[in-house]
Structure 1
């Protein structure tokens, strides 16, 4: 074997190894209430992500109603013991209006992501 063949083979093997370690981020897959949805009297907000989450570094905050709303979540964000991709937070008394859900999560591979959405509570 020539030096060039050995070097090319080594580069190919390294490239294959790195391809399997591509970084992934946890993205919001779905939620209850749904983004831009309308519900009656929710008691919690649930969000499912594309990756397992690190519970200590993952939060959901709920504010509302309206753009200047106060925090209404109970501060008890936790993952579902049966599904590390499922994040839940309780909320106190959802009066009619528009609520904003803001999430910030860290996946078990330490990558961070965040986002927000709104939902409407009907009268």
Structure 2
């Protein structure tokens, strides 16, 4: 993964999915600018999350797997046989959140002509 941003790059080399994928390379850079992030909440995480999670969805689709099940498999590996030693997340907690979301959303996988929007406001 390669990412850059203002003030601080949005990439975290020790957060999920690292720890669940072999041969993961994280490179980052800083873009010089006088634009501030002001009172934005977690701008680094917000900038990278969409690209990162969309890519995981594409991988799941390519492998013919449900996107949530694919992530749960990755988190199981990160818990039982992690790649690296300095992973800054709790795979069991992440898996619990995904399972709860799947249950509350009455998740049935992605089908033909199935669209879903999720909007969170802080």
Return the TM-score normalized by structure 1: 0.21
Larger relative helix fraction: 2
Larger relative strand fraction: 1
Return the TM-score normalized by structure 2: 0.21
Bigger Rg, which one: 1
